[in-house]
Chain A
Amino acid sequence: MKSVRRALAVSAAALLTLTMTACGEDGGGEEPLSDDALVIYSGRNENLVGPLLEKLEDETGIDVQVRYAGSSELAAQLLEEGEGTKADLFFSQDAGALGALAKADRLDTLPEATLAEVQDGFADPNGHWVATSARARVIAYDPAQAPEVTEMTTVDAVLDPKYKGKIGFAPTNASFQSFVTALRLTKGEDGAKEWLEKFAANEPKAYDNNILVLDAVDSGQVALGLINHYYWYERVAEKGADAVKAKIHFLDSDDPGALVNVAGAGILAGSPQKEAAVKAVDFLLSEEGQRYFADETAEYPVVQGITSTKHDLVPLAELERSSVDLNSLDSLEQTLALLDEVGLT
């Protein structure tokens, strides 16, 4: 017993000392968010945009501090923080999170010059946020099993019974869910439900994410996959065009299956660093920033005239915009309820 007690007492004392030092040390030596630095809340993954934000620091001389988390979690966090936030800039994976902040009057208006840099339709009409890159929904296919996909114009074509058990999709992926929302907006609730019921009857195979869907198409496990375009471009860049069996096909631009989603940025209202924040947004829209998205993440630049040096991207202007307004993609709750109802969760 004695030894136990001694062990406990020693460890307790040691831990207590640690706690005290922790509290005195401002969290183990990490720099606290400073008022002089530009604080960015990034809902985009550190692996994707970390190097770009480092470049931002080098090129502009702005002292940048970044906190990474999910876009929706960060939007909720920013709403809870309210005016007490230390964040100056919100860099979001999707328009919905930016729209929610704009709706709550948490975003400042961006300067005209900044908004004018992007192509038409890629900035919030009220000027509260601007898109920084775009991604398109595409159909990935195995040419050996489904060469006819090149002729497809609408996503309705995947309902053909000949694809029974041969379609891969990622039901929990936010872009897939946006596609279903677009389906609801274009076909109406009943039309969307009918589409999803037929889709479910075709016994599509659910995967955890788009990468696994692409794997399945590439290995021939399924003939078709519903994914975002950049997964395929990244795969081709990584392995070489010859090593990737899967191909992708863009549907007609007004089809919900060709929905274009965006990532974007907005400046927090009341930020003491507005000038630096505008500089940061301008950097994201600069040739260097846009080329980074085109080359490193295989996304579409949203500024006219910039093309990728690495990937052979179909120009955004050719895709046109799908008829769905990105601001109206915020009814995810009904979308998920619908997916649950037809058994596609």
Chain B
Amino acid sequence: MTTPEARAADATRAPTSRGSSRVPFFLGAPSVVVAGITLLPIAYLLVRTAEAGASRVAEIVLRERTVLLIGRSVLLAALVTSLSIAIGVGLAFLATRTDLPGRRVLAGLAPLPLAIPSYVAAFAWISAVPELAGLAGSVLVLTLCCYPYVYLPVLAALRRADPGVEEVARSLGRSPSQVFREVTLRQVRPAAAAGGLLVALYTLSDFGAVSILRYDVFTRVIYTAYRSSFDRSTAAVLSLILVLLTVAISVGESRVRRRDIARVGAGVSRAVQPVRLGGLRFPLGGAAGVVLALALVFPIGSLLWWFLNGLSAGIDGVHLAESVAATAWLALLGAVACTLGAVPVGILAARHRGSFTTVVEQITYAGHALPGIVVALALVFLGVRVVPWVYQEAPLLVLAYVVLFVPTAVGAVRSSVAQSSVRGEEVARSLGATPTDVLRRVTLPLAAPGIGAGSALVLLTCMKELPATLLLRPTGTDTLATSLWTETGVGAYGAAAPYGLALVVLAVLPTIWLMRLTDRERGTPR
């Protein structure tokens, strides 16, 4: 921290640690509840591991194959995360800060790959290019499915960032690329890090894509442990290793984030003088086009091809409609529950740093890399014994969605709250507003687009979720993901395609809602 730039950044940084010693009850209590819920599967895993006994645990951990598979998982996560950050930040910058022709279209299309389940994309790729099996294909498919996790928060951050800092830097003689590296990247770093964390954890927990692309990683061994010997202790030990890995990664991310930049003073989001790309517009526009073609056009094209091939067999319209309704319904419940849980944790993490907050926040992330099957079985075990009356009913499934996806929303809430000025809250408080008033009238409205983004992300992710939904759904309820699973299980790709397409269409809706929300916020004078 010796360069003048760094010191300037230091000065613009809000005193985020202020008030850390006093965690308000109305934030602390719900946060503890959320952390407790996300701890459930870990408690279950500890019980199962304890059953195995120390020597068996040591044997499982020290196996050569376990070490090999951890290495592969980490390699895959590292590659997918770096590529996703590069693509996500790059596309968000092109869409908001440049004069790239068609940037509005780009901004609208870039998040849509989120609507495509990784198992659908993986299947589309491997049937077209069988040589993709293995690491290369897994990196390709997961990156194309995951970069929006980075793109969305970075886009929101860029739209909300005060362009004044960039303008000052430019007026002081910095070149556009220097401004990009020294100012813009710093402004989006918390958002990119939060998104990168989600990508890394998603990659660790993904089973569908790696199993179709036949790249043997950690999740596959966990599944195998269940499938082969029904040895739940082995699966539990391996899952706990995954939890440790998750904690390590999320602690790393919070180190990066420690240098968050918050806005000082009024801070205005307004139209930005776009960077002129000049001759670069064609290569950059072309690259963006290629990303969209690979991530969006290709898998949707495959679905359409199967759809047309399967048309002759007819479509069960009633079942399709029922699946759409059930998917929308359950995902909506999941999104609401995750958002409600994420708001207190996210605000705590942005405004009341301290050891209490750190522990609570890290706990919510701990279970995020667990494969869905592990979380589902943990809730099976607890659900049957503790709350049998909601077992295999919507509430328990929604609880599983909270465990699996609350970190998605926490990251979004935290980075958008962190980006808005603390001063507004301080002024409100000095004018006599109560802390809950400040929350309701200042903090939440300022962070609304970010919270909206978080809800939309959770909504999309819940729609695609398969393993937990399969085991915990109400009896007789089919979601689009479970119907897709049923049809592909007998190789009926033509019959599966309508469900895949409906899933993509359904998942596009929250994305559009999210984009409109952000746009409107920008256009409204304050």
* Given contacts A3-B524, A32-B475, A211-B491, A46 and B486 within 8 Å (CB-CB): yes
**A79 to B232, Cβ gap below 8 A?**
yes
B-contact bits for A315-337, CB 8 A (1 contact / 0 none): 00000000000000011110111
- Closest residue to A84 on the B side, CB-wise? B384
**A345 to B230, Cβ gap below 8 A?**
no
Segment at the B interface, from A15-23, A150-158, A286-294, A299-307: A15-23
B-contact bits for A249-265, CB 8 A (1 contact / 0 none): 00000000000000000
**A345 to B380, Cβ gap below 8 A?**
no
Segment at the B interface, from A63-71, A120-128, A189-197, A274-282: A63-71
**A85 to B384, Cβ gap below 8 A?**
yes
B-contact bits for A131-143, CB 8 A (1 contact / 0 none): 0000000000000
**A72 to B230, Cβ gap below 8 A?**
yes
* Given contacts A15-B332, A206-B133, A76 and B228 within 8 Å (CB-CB): no
Count of B residues near A, CB < 8 Å? 67
Residues of A within 8 A of B227 (CB): 72, 332
Residues of A within 8 A of B467 (CB): 73
**B380 to A47, Cβ gap below 8 A?**
no
Interchain nearest-CB distance for B371 vs A (Å): 11
Contact with B384, one of A4, A18, A81, A97 (Cβ below 8 angstroms) = A81
Complex Cα spacing A212 to B488, Å: 12
B99 at the interface (CB under 8 A from A): no
- Closest residue to B385 on the A side, CB-wise? A84
A60 at the interface (CB under 8 A from B): no
Complex Cα spacing A67 to B477, Å: 9
B326 at the interface (CB under 8 A from A): yes
* Given contacts A18-B336, A76-B232, A28 and B326 within 8 Å (CB-CB): yes
Interfacial residues of chain B within 391-408, with CB under 8 A of chain A in the complex: 391-395, 398
Complex Cα spacing A31 to B385, Å: 21
**B526 to A1, Cβ gap below 8 A?**
yes
A116 at the interface (CB under 8 A from B): no
* Given contacts A23-B395, A72-B227, A80-B381, A47 and B486 within 8 Å (CB-CB): yes
Residues of B within 8 A of A172 (CB): 211-212, 214
B-contact bits for A21-41, CB 8 A (1 contact / 0 none): 011001110111100000100
Residues of A within 8 A of B474 (CB): 26-28, 30, 32
Segment at the A interface, from B100-108, B123-131, B140-148, B278-286: B123-131
**B477 to A30, Cβ gap below 8 A?**
yes
Interchain nearest-CB distance for A89 vs B (Å): 14
Complex Cα spacing A273 to B133, Å: 47
Interchain nearest-CB distance for B278 vs A (Å): 36
Complex Cα spacing A330 to B452, Å: 48
**B471 to A69, Cβ gap below 8 A?**
yes
**B517 to A7, Cβ gap below 8 A?**
yes
**B230 to A79, Cβ gap below 8 A?**
yes
Interface, chain A (partner B; CB < 8 A): 1-5, 7-8, 12, 15-16, 18-19, 22-23, 26-28, 30-33, 39, 45-48, 65-70, 72-77, 79-82, 84-86, 96-97, 100, 104, 171-172, 205-212, 330-333, 335-337, 340, 345
| 28 CB < 8 A contacts A-B | A4-B520, A4-B521, A5-B445, A15-B336, A16-B336, A27-B474, A30-B475, A31-B476, A32-B392, A32-B474, A45-B486, A47-B487, A47-B489, A65-B475, A68-B486, A74-B471, A79-B232, A80-B377, A80-B381, A81-B384, A84-B385, A97-B230, A208-B212, A209-B491, A330-B228, A335-B228, A336-B216, A336-B224
